[in-house]
Structure 1
Amino acid sequence: MVEEKANLAGTNTGNLRLRHATDQISSLIFLSHSTKVFSSKWKVIRSKLDEILSILASLPPEIQASADNHPTLSGIIRSIKETTDCSTNLAQKCIEHSYSGKLLMQSDLDIIFVKFDSSVKSLSEFINSEGLLSNGNYAIVVSRPPPTASRDDIQFYVKDLLCRFKIGRIEMKKQALVSFNEVIQEDERYVKIAMEIDGLVHVLMKFLNSKEIEIQEEALKSVATLSGFDSYKSLLVGTGVISPLIRVLETGSDLGKELSTRCLMKVTANSDNAWSVSAHGGASALLKICGSGCDDAAGGELVGLACGVLRNLIGVDEIKRFVVEEGVIPMSIKLVKSKNEASQISAIDFIQVLASGNEFIRGLIVNEGGIRVLVRVLDPKSSYSSKSREKSMRALIILCSDSIGYINSLKNYNFIDHILYFLKNGEVSIQESALRAAFWLCGSSDEFKKAMGDAGFMPEMVKFLDAKSFEAREMASETLFRLVVVPRNQKRFVQNDQNVNFLLQLVNPDEGNSGNRKNLLSIIMSLTFCNDGRKKILSSGYLKNIEKLAEDQVLDAKKIVRNLSSNRFRSMIRGIWHS
C-alpha cells in the first residue's frame, strides 16, 4: 500500500511538472506577441515553442503521468523550463525596452533559439528511442476537427501533423501526410492556416527529396494542391520547389513524375516561373518524357502532361527557340499520331500555341507535314476522338491563317469533305467546331466559296439557321451570306424552293428573331441580284414578312423591296415603297 501511494505521488508529481512546463511555454508564446522589437527572432523562437508543445501533447498519457520515471525526459523538461524562464525575462525586457544593448539582446535571443532547437531534437530522439510514434500501442493521433471547428482547433491539428512530419518514423510520416492531404483537399481553411505555420513548407520541400518513394509521392500530392492557389505559388517557388520537382521528373516513380508535371503545370501558368524551370533543366527533362512517345494509358497521360508544361514554357521566346532547336516540332507531330488520346490532344494544343504569331515556326511545322497530319485527324475513317478532332480544327485555322498557300493545300487533303461530314453527322460540340471552320474557310477566297457550294455546304448552313445556340445561328447565317455572294452559288441555292421560303419565314416580324435578322436579310438581298432568286422571293407566300419589315422602316428590308421593284417586276408590287 505504501509503495502504491509512493508511485501515485510520483506519477502526480511528474504530471504536474510536465503541465507546469507546458503552461510556461504557452504563457511565453502569448507574451512574445507583445514584443515590438526583434520580431523576426521572436517569430522563429515561437515556431520552436509550438513544436515543443506539439511533441509534449503527442506523448501517451502514461508517459506524461510518469515523466519523472524517465530520467531522459525529466532532464529535457527541466532544461526546457530553465530556458523558458530565461526567455520570459528577455521578453519582458523587450516589451519594456529595458535591455542594455541591441547586439547583446540579439545574441541572447539567438542562444535561446539554439537551446529550444536542441530541446526539440532531444525530445525527438527520446520519442524515437522509446518507439512512441511507431505503429505500436503508443501511436496516438490527434483526431481531425469537425467541420465546425474553430481556427485554433484547426491550427492545433495541423501543428500536430507537422510535429509528426518531423519526428515520426517513416510510417507515421506517411500517415501524417495522408491526413494532411485529405484535409487540404476538402477544406481550404486548412490550406490557409497550414501556409501560415512556420516551417511546414520547408518540411514538404525536404520530403520531395526523400528516398522513400511513398513519402515523396504524398509530399507531391500536397504541393500539387497548394500550387493550385495563386496566392501561394510565389511562396512555393521562393522556397525552392522547382529544383526537387525537376529531379523527380528525371528519377522519380511513374506516379511521382505525373504529380511533378501537374505541379509544374500549375506553377508555370505564371510565365515568370518559366525561366526558373528552364534554368533547372526542366525543358530538357520534359522533352525527354515527350520523346518517349508512350501509348499506354499511364505513360500517355504523363506525356500529355509534360507536353502541357512545355506549352506554358514556350511563352518565353528564348525557351521556344531552344525547344524548336531540340526537335520539338517533329516530336509533337509524332505524338499527334499516337494511340493515346491525352498525348494527341496535348500535342495538338502545343502545335497550336507554337504556331501562333510566328511565321517562321509555322513554316517549319508545315514542312514537317503538320497540315497533313492534323487533317488526317479529321478523317471520319480514323479512330480519333471528337475532342481531338475539335482541337485539330482549331490548330489548322491558326496554322493556315494568313497564308493562301497553306489554305490551298487543305484541298489536297480532303479538308472540305471532312468538315462537311461532321456538319452532317457530328456531335453538337464537333458540329460547332466544323461550323467555325466552315466560316473561316469561306472567308479565304472565291475559289473556296465555289468549292464549298459545289460540295453541298449551303443546305447544311440552312439547317443551322434555327439552331438553339445563337452563336451557331449567327455563324451559319454569316457563312451562308459569304457563300451566296458568289453568283454560281446563288443559282444553286434557289433551285430548292424550300431554301428561299425558309429564309423568308425566319424574318417574321412577329417572332423574336431580330438578333439574327440582319444577317438573314443580307442573304435575301444577295438573292435579289439573281433572276431566279427574285422570282422565288416574289412567288413565296412569306414575301409579306419582307413587306411588313419595309413598312416598319427596316432599312435592309426596304432595300430588298427596291431591288424587287425593278421595271420588270413593278406590276407585282403595290405601294410599299415611298422613299
Structure 2
Amino acid sequence: MPPAAADPGAASPPSTPLSVTQTTELVKHILSLLLISCLSTKSFVGRFQVLYSRLTALKSSLSEITDSPHWSDNSLLDTLLPNLLYTLRRLLSLADQCHGTSFPGGKLLMQSDLDMASISLSNHLHDLDLILRSGVLRQSSAIVLSHPGPESAREDLVYYIRDLFARLQIGGFEFKDKALESLIRLLSDDEKSALLVAKEGNITYLIQLLDCSDYPLIRKQAITVVAILASANDQSRKAVFEVGGLGPLLRILETGSLALKEKAAMAIQSLTADPENAWAVSAYGGIPILIEACRCGSVLMQAYSVGAIRNVSIIEDIRNTLIDENALPLLIQLLVSSNASAQENAANCLSVLASSSDYFRTVIIQEKGLHRLLQLLHDSTSFDTLEHVLTVIHVLSSSDQIARMLSSSISFIIQLAELIMNGNIVLQKISATLLSNLPISDGNKRAIAGCMPQLVKLMEMPKPGGIQEVASQALVSMLTVRSNRKKFARDEKSLMRLVQMLDARNELVCKQYPVAVVAALTPGCRKRLLEAGALAAVQRLAEMGVAGAKKAVQRLSGGRLKNIFGRSWGNNCESYWPRQNSRSWGRSDH
C-alpha cells in the first residue's frame, strides 16, 4: 500500500532515544499490563476481546523476533518499535479509562479511539510478520544490503530481494527510496533477476505505489521497476498483469507527468504483447487513452502507445473501437514520425488492420496511406519496418487500381529487386510475391533482371514455407521477356543451380518449381539447357509424374509444333501451378 498518513500508532521516538533492546523490553512490559487489563475491563468487552487476541499475537511475534540472531542490529526495528511503543501506551491509557462506566469525552469518542488503536495494532502485527517471513533478521544489515555480484548464489539473491521488499513496505521514505533504487539497479544489471523479483517480491504492493501521488519520487521509481518487470520476461510480465497493474498504468498515461507517462506507455506495450492480456485494455477503457497519447504525447510515448494499439488490434471488438475513435488517420500520420520505433509500430499496426477487413484497406487508400508507405519503404533502413510496410502494400495490391499504380512505378519495382538481392529472407519472400503478382511491363522486367540469380538461390531454400513457390513464380514472370531469358542462359552459376534442383535425389526442392522455370526458359535457350544436361533430369521427373515435366520434356526435345497452334506460351505456363494467387502470372505483356 502507499505510504500512509500518521495515525495514533505512529509517533516520533522519545526525546531521549532508547536502544532497540531497551525499547523492546519496555514494549514487553506494557504488553503484559495490557493483557491483564483487557480481561478486567467493564466496558466495550467485545472490543477488548479482539484487542486481547491481537496483543497475544503481538507478544508471540516479538518473542520470535528476539529469538532471531542479530535482531537488534536490524535498522527496520529502529522505526517500527518506537511506533509500536506509542500505540501500546495509548491503548493502556484507554484500557484504564474503560474499567469504569463513564468517559470524559463520551462513549462514541472512546469507541472511535479503541477502533483506531485496534487498526494500529493490526498494522504493527502485519509489519512484524513481514519481517519474520522475509528472513531479514538472520543477519546484521545496513540500511540496504550490499548489492549482490554476478556470481552471487541464488539463496543470497533471494534474501536480498526479500530484504528490499521488507524495507519497501515497512520503512519510511528513506527506506522506500533506497529499496527502490536498489531494485532498479538489480534489474538493470541482471535481467534474470526479474524472475526472482516476480516470485519473491510483493508485486501487489509495488503496483499500489503507482497511485502514491503524494510521493512523486517514490512513484517514479516504482513505475520504473514495474516497466522493467513488464518487459523482462513472460513470468514477470504475468506477475504485473495478474495483480492488476494495467489499470494504474493507464491512469498514469492519462494524467501523470511526462516522465511517468513514458514509463507507463512502455509498460503497457510490454503487458499487451501477451495476447491473453490485450483484452483488458478495452475493459479499462484504455483505447481512447492510448490514442490520445499517440496524438499529443512525446515521440517516446507515441512509439510505445502505438505499439500497444498494435498489440490489442488483433481483437475484433477493439478494432471496432479504433474505427469509432477514428484512429487510422493518426496511425498513417505516425508513418512519418521522427522516431523509428513509432514508424515501425505504426506500420506493424496498419499491417494487422489492413489484413483484417476491406474497410481498413479502403481508409488507408483514401487517407493517402500508400504514398506514405512508399516513402517509408524508401527511407527506412530497418528490416522489421520494411517487412511491415511491404506487408501492407502487398495487401493493398489486391486492388486492381493499386496493382496497376505499383506496377507503373519503376522506383518501386527497382526497390523490390534490391530487397530480393539484399534483404532478409522475409523481405525477399514478400518482394518475390509482389513481383509474381503485379502486372509489370517488359521494360520494368528488363530493368530488374539483376535479381534473377538471387531468385534462383531462393528456390533452393526449404524455409520459410512457400519461399520456393513465390521465387519460382517471380522468376517465371521475369522470363517472359526474351532478353531476360538470354541473360539467364549466359549465367553459368544460375543455370547449373537450376539443373541441380532438377536432380531427383535433391529432396530439398519441390520439383514442379524448377520444371516450370525450365519450361519458361526453353524459348530461345533450348540449346543451353540441353548442354547443361537438363533434358535427362526432366525426363526422369516426367517418369515420376512431376507436374509439368512432360511438357517441359516436349519443349526441350523440340516437339514444339503443338504449342505453335495451341495455347499461347504465356497461358501454358499457368498449368504448372494451381491457381492460388489473386491474379494469374499471364497478366504481364509477353
Normalised by the size of structure 1, how large is the TM-score? 0.66
Equivalent in the alignment of 1:461: 452
Structure 2 stretches lacking a partner, 5+ long? 1-17, 30-52, 92-114, 130-140, 562-590
C-alpha deviation, 1:375, in angstroms: 1.4
- From the superposition, tell whether residues 473 and 428 of structure 1 become closer, same or farther in structure 2 (CA, over 3 Å): farther
Does the 8 Å CA contact 1:453/1:483 hold for their aligned counterparts?
no
Equivalent in the alignment of 2:418: 422
Write the mapping of 1:113-132 to structure 2, written as runs, cut at 5 A.
116-119=121-124
Equivalent in the alignment of 2:393: 396
Write the mapping of 1:11-410 to structure 2, written as runs, cut at 5 A.
14=22, 53=65, 61=73, 116-119=121-124, 140-144=143-147, 147-149=151-153, 151=155, 154-184=157-187, 186=190, 188=192, 191-192=195-196, 195=199, 200-211=202-213, 212-227=215-230, 228-231=232-235, 236-292=240-296, 299-379=298-378, 382=379, 385=382, 387-400=384-397, 402-410=398-406
Q: Deviations over 1:421-460 (max 9, x none)?
A: 5248x7443xx45532342224436x33756534334x41
Q: Deviations over 1:215-239 (max 9, x none)?
A: 2222123222433554565654453
AA at the equivalent of 2:418 = F
AA at the equivalent of 1:328 = A
**Segment drifting more, 485-494 vs 201-210:** 485-494
- From the superposition, tell whether residues 222 and 526 of structure 1 become closer, same or farther in structure 2 (CA, over 3 Å): same
- From the superposition, tell whether residues 550 and 257 of structure 1 become closer, same or farther in structure 2 (CA, over 3 Å): same
C-alpha deviation, 1:169, in angstroms: 3.3
What CA distance in whole angstroms lies between the structure 2 residues aligned with 1:358 and 1:62?
63
What CA distance in whole angstroms lies between the structure 2 residues aligned with 1:328 and 1:65?
54
- From the superposition, tell whether residues 525 and 259 of structure 1 become closer, same or farther in structure 2 (CA, over 3 Å): same
Write the mapping of 1:428-447 to structure 2, written as runs, cut at 5 A.
428-429=423-424, 432=425, 435-444=428-437, 447=439
What CA distance in whole angstroms lies between the structure 2 residues aligned with 1:409 and 1:536?
37
AA at the equivalent of 1:407 = A
Which structure carries more relative contact order (alpha carbon 8 Å, separation 6+)? Answer: 2
Does the 8 Å CA contact 2:468/2:509 hold for their aligned counterparts?
no
Equivalent in the alignment of 1:106: none
What CA distance in whole angstroms lies between the structure 1 residues aligned with 2:78 and 2:171?
22
Answer yes or no: is 1:547 the counterpart of 2:536.
Answer: yes
Q: Deviations over 1:119-156 (max 9, x none)?
A: 359999xxxxxxxxxxxxx96333456655464x5554
Q: What secondary structure sits across from 1:507 in the alignment?
A: helix
AA at the equivalent of 2:434 = L
Does the 8 Å CA contact 2:27/2:88 hold for their aligned counterparts?
no
C-alpha deviation, 1:325, in angstroms: 2.7
C-alpha deviation, 1:289, in angstroms: 1.8
What CA distance in whole angstroms lies between the structure 2 residues aligned with 1:66 and 1:327?
57
- From the superposition, tell whether residues 327 and 451 of structure 1 become closer, same or farther in structure 2 (CA, over 3 Å): farther
Count of residue pairs the alignment pairs up? 473
- From the superposition, tell whether residues 63 and 466 of structure 1 become closer, same or farther in structure 2 (CA, over 3 Å): closer
Equivalent in the alignment of 1:101: none
Equivalent in the alignment of 1:103: none
AA at the equivalent of 2:299 = G
Q: What secondary structure sits across from 1:240 in the alignment?
A: coil
C-alpha deviation, 1:365, in angstroms: 1.0
C-alpha deviation, 1:178, in angstroms: 2.0
C-alpha deviation, 1:75, in angstroms: 7.4
- From the superposition, tell whether residues 346 and 420 of structure 1 become closer, same or farther in structure 2 (CA, over 3 Å): closer
C-alpha deviation, 1:358, in angstroms: 0.7
- From the superposition, tell whether residues 53 and 512 of structure 1 become closer, same or farther in structure 2 (CA, over 3 Å): farther
C-alpha deviation, 1:351, in angstroms: 0.9
Normalised by the size of structure 2, how large is the TM-score? 0.65
What CA distance in whole angstroms lies between the structure 2 residues aligned with 1:177 and 1:473?
48
What CA distance in whole angstroms lies between the structure 2 residues aligned with 1:210 and 1:174?
13
AA at the equivalent of 2:210 = L
C-alpha deviation, 1:245, in angstroms: 0.7
AA at the equivalent of 1:119 = H
- From the superposition, tell whether residues 202 and 433 of structure 1 become closer, same or farther in structure 2 (CA, over 3 Å): closer
C-alpha deviation, 1:328, in angstroms: 1.3
AA at the equivalent of 1:202 = T
Answer yes or no: is 1:524 the counterpart of 2:518.
Answer: yes
AA at the equivalent of 1:248 = I
C-alpha deviation, 1:331, in angstroms: 1.0
C-alpha deviation, 1:249, in angstroms: 0.8
Equivalent in the alignment of 1:28: none
Answer yes or no: is 1:563 the counterpart of 2:552.
Answer: no
Does the 8 Å CA contact 1:265/1:305 hold for their aligned counterparts?
yes
C-alpha deviation, 1:274, in angstroms: 3.6
Superposition misfits of 4+ residues, deviation over 6 angstroms:
10-13, 18-21, 56-60, 62-67, 70-80, 110-113, 121-124, 509-512
Does the 8 Å CA contact 1:274/1:313 hold for their aligned counterparts?
yes
What CA distance in whole angstroms lies between the structure 1 residues aligned with 2:497 and 2:72?
83
AA at the equivalent of 2:300 = E
What CA distance in whole angstroms lies between the structure 2 residues aligned with 1:225 and 1:473?
36
What CA distance in whole angstroms lies between the structure 1 residues aligned with 2:292 and 2:260?
16
C-alpha deviation, 1:240, in angstroms: 3.0
**Segment drifting more, 159-168 vs 494-503:** 494-503
What CA distance in whole angstroms lies between the structure 2 residues aligned with 1:478 and 1:428?
15
Does the 8 Å CA contact 2:198/2:236 hold for their aligned counterparts?
no
What CA distance in whole angstroms lies between the structure 2 residues aligned with 1:510 and 1:251?
67
C-alpha deviation, 1:172, in angstroms: 2.6
Q: What secondary structure sits across from 2:481 in the alignment?
A: helix
Q: What secondary structure sits across from 1:516 in the alignment?
A: coil
